[in-house]
Each structure stands twice: as C-alpha cells, then as structure tokens.
Amino acid sequence: MEKFTSPLEAHLIEYSMSLSFENLSQKAINQAKRRITDTIGGALGAFEARPVEIAKAVVPKVKSGTTARIWGSLEKSTPEGAAFANGTMLRYLDINDTHRTIDGSHPSDNLGGVIALAEALSLNGRDTLLALIISYEIQCRFVDTVPFNENGWDQPVPGVIAMALAAGRMLNLSVSSMRDALSLAVTPNLCTYQTRAGELSMWKGAAAANGARQGIFAALLASKGMTGPFGAFDGIYGLWNQTVKNKYSIAPLSFGKSLFGVEQTNIKMFPVRDSCQLPVQTARDLRKKIAAEDIKSLKIVTYGSAYKGAVEDPELWAPKTRETADHSMLIAVTLGLIDGTITPESFESERFLDKDVLDLISKTEVEISQEFSAISPAIRTCQLIASNNEGKSFNSKHSLNAKDIELGPSDDEIQSKFYGLTERVMKNKRAKLLFEASMDLENMAKISTLVDLTEV
C-alpha cells in the first residue's frame, strides 16, 4: 500500500480489492439474494410515497451517457441520481434489514447504489452480489466496533465508506484511486444523528440514500483522477478526532467460510424500527390472552438501548409524523395489541393518531430491565404485563438472539412479504418473475435485466 495510507485505510482497500466471488460461501450468496429480494419488495411497496416522489422529481433525467434507471418507472438518471431515488424508495417503509451491535445501521440502504452503478457499468449478477457483500461486510464491521450513534453521528457515516469501496471495486480502481475514493467519501460526508432525534422528518428515510449517492460520486471522482485529503481517518481533523475522539481497528472482515455480515442482519417482518420488531411479536402473543379494550394498565419491560431509541424522546409517546411513529415502541406495542399486526397501511392511514391507540398508550409505563440490558444486544428481550379491571395479570415475554437473527424468516415468509408489498403497484405475474430473477441473480448476464422487471 502507498505510504500515505493509514493501517485502517490499507486494510479496507486491500479487502475490497481482493475479495472474489470464489471466496464467498454458498450460504453468504444465498443470504445476499434473500436480502436483495426483500429490499426490492420493500422499495416497490413505497413507490408512490411522497418522499420518493420528491426524490424522483429532483434527480436528473438523462438520455445518454452513463445512466442507471429508477426502479418502477425505469426513468434514466445518473448512477448517483438512481442511487438516491432508489435508496429513498427502499428505506421509506422502514422494512429493510438492519444490523445492531455496538451501533446500528441498515446495510441494505446501499443496495440502490450498488445496483445503479452495476447497471451503469453493464455488470452481471455475480459482480453485483460481490459488491453488495463487500458493502455489507464493511458497514457491519464498523457497526460491530465504532460507537458513532452514541457520539451523535448517523449511520451513513460508515454507509458512505462501504458504498465508496464497493463502487471502487466495481470500477476496478487502482490502490491510489481507492484511497482517494475512500477519502472523498469520508471527509465531505459526516452527518449528525439529529436526523433520528425528536420529531422525525422525511429525511429519516433519505439520509442513507444520500450516503449511497455520495459514495458513488466519490468513486467516480477518483476514477477520473480527483485526489482526496490525506489523513481522512487519522489526521488532526480526520474522522476519528472529529467524531468519536478515539482511533478504532474495526472487527475482522470475513473471507471464505467465515460468517459474513450479509448473513447476520435482521430481516424485518414489520415496518417499524429494528428494536420494535420483537415488541410487535410480543404484543401479538399477549393479544391472545387479553383483549386490548380490557386492559386497565400495561407495562413494557425492555433493555436500555431499545428504550433510548424507541421510548426516551417525548415525541415517541404521541407521534405526529409517520417517521416518528414507526420508530416508537409505544406505537408498535399498542397496534400489535389492538390491530394484531402492523402494515404500511397502518401508517398511511395515520392509525397512530387514533383515540384508541393514544388511550392505550396513556395506560402504559415502560421499565428498563437491568437484566435485559446486561445481555443485550446479544440477546434482546421484551416483556409485556397487562392487567384488567378485575386485577388479573397477563404476561408475555419473548427473546431474540444472534442465532435467531442469522436463521431469519423462511424463504416462504420472505416470498409472502415480497408479494404483499409489491402487489400495491405490480401484478402478481410480474412480481413472480421479479422474485424468481432476484433469487437466481448469480446466473444473470446483466443486472439491467433485474431492473427491467421492476417496471410497474
């Protein structure tokens, strides 16, 4: 590696340049395809959402040159434009997979960028899978190691790093150009956690799409010879000093039979925050024991980090926007108890503003369990305790561990979720073709074939 590269930069660049499709286990490949399918389904389910309309209206429309298309409409844009529009689309419903250990992120947020650049470069399915797995791996290992969130920095910080390196690999950049791409991703793109604090806005679902856009832009600049600042990580005003005030060596990056990050993310079944998935399941179980209208008091027992992200802010107790509502554990539990499930329509109908929902929240208290906190996030636990007017108590308790997350939903469950989301804009016959193609991606000669099938 060149003399100006820090050890971490050298490590990231060497990994991104050396990992090959042959280094991947069949399990990693299969899990990547499951997440691609799952993420595209969530994206098409949000095709008509207002933030997606805004993104599609703003990104440039081009007819020639290096282009990539917007899913659903198949309008041509630049690779960066398509990355932003598709990234906003796939993130809007908050139903794409997550990774949470020391930090938290949605590694699939970069899928819009990976597919956009792969289409622009006429790459095949294997190349696309490899780039996505590189992106997942790098972002997940930052999440495993660096506490950006608790220091006030948002998940696109590692996301833009992962996207730039995956894009650099797709562009076959040299070592020096990879260093420039990495630097041009890190230095201009530090984003704060204010995106996810207080009452949340539309930007909650677009921040990581912007990271994907900027990661591609950094790699494209580097491919044409633009140099980036030296010391992007270790410099006096580099990433470490400006964010977490400490230098980190990220967790080991996976090869061969090792467990890849793409195998470890939590595939969501409900359109709510990661830490609210288990509470929805727990509420659905409690609902079998007591009707919501019979509840006199309700206690939610949870762990510390879930409380901080999904309960602590006052806005989460009476959300005014759908972006706040889908991050609220109170909403997740009450809708699980009253309606028996949560779907995109729950938020589109502003169910979170209804009197019965707010009344049940008014009867609710939330307790942080030191026991649950001590074993999280390795084991996540939610307990609900409800009492009725006769003083009878009803209890439901569920836990989720790393093995459960690694196993994830079955292929049939992912397929059912995919069809349920895509039927909002697409006929079943076309959805079936898209599903089958995405699950056979390693045999696809050009990724543009997959994009063709997203047309609504």
- Domain contains 433: yes
- Domain contains 258: yes
173 and 201 assigned to the same domain: yes
Predicted local confidence at residue 88, as pLDDT? 98
66 and 203 assigned to the same domain: yes
Predicted local confidence at residue 3, as pLDDT? 55
- Please say if the pLDDT value at position 93 is more than 60: yes
Residues 94-112 have a mean pLDDT of: 97
Domain encompassing residue 77 = 7-269+415-452
242 and 323 assigned to the same domain: no
- Domain contains 137: yes
| SS3 annotation, 149-167 | HHHCECCHHHHHHHHHHHH
262 and 280 assigned to the same domain: no
Residues 380-399 have a mean pLDDT of: 97
215 and 283 assigned to the same domain: no
- Domain contains 1: no
217 and 240 assigned to the same domain: yes
- Domain contains 284: yes
Domain of 207: which CATH number?
1.10.4100.10
Residues 270-296 have a mean pLDDT of: 98
Predicted local confidence at residue 257, as pLDDT? 86
- Domain contains 373: yes
Q: pLDDT confidence of 32, banded at 50, 70, 90?
A: very high
91 and 170 assigned to the same domain: yes
**Distant-in-sequence, close-in-space partners of 126: CB < 8 Å, separation ≥ 6:** 21, 441, 442
Residues 161-181 have a mean pLDDT of: 98
Residues 193-205 have a mean pLDDT of: 97
Predicted local confidence at residue 1, as pLDDT? 45
289 and 364 assigned to the same domain: yes
Chain mean pLDDT for the chain: 97
43 and 183 assigned to the same domain: yes
90 and 164 assigned to the same domain: yes
Q: pLDDT confidence of 2, banded at 50, 70, 90?
A: low
Residues 228-254 have a mean pLDDT of: 96
- Please say if the pLDDT value at position 347 is more than 70: yes
Report the predicted TM-score, pTM, of the whole model to 2 decimal places: 0.96
The count of structural domains within the chain is 2
43 and 112 assigned to the same domain: yes
247 and 282 assigned to the same domain: no
- Domain contains 2: no
- Domain contains 178: yes
pLDDT digits (tens, 9 = 90+) for 301-316: 999 999 999 999 999 9
Domain of 385: which CATH number?
3.30.1330.120
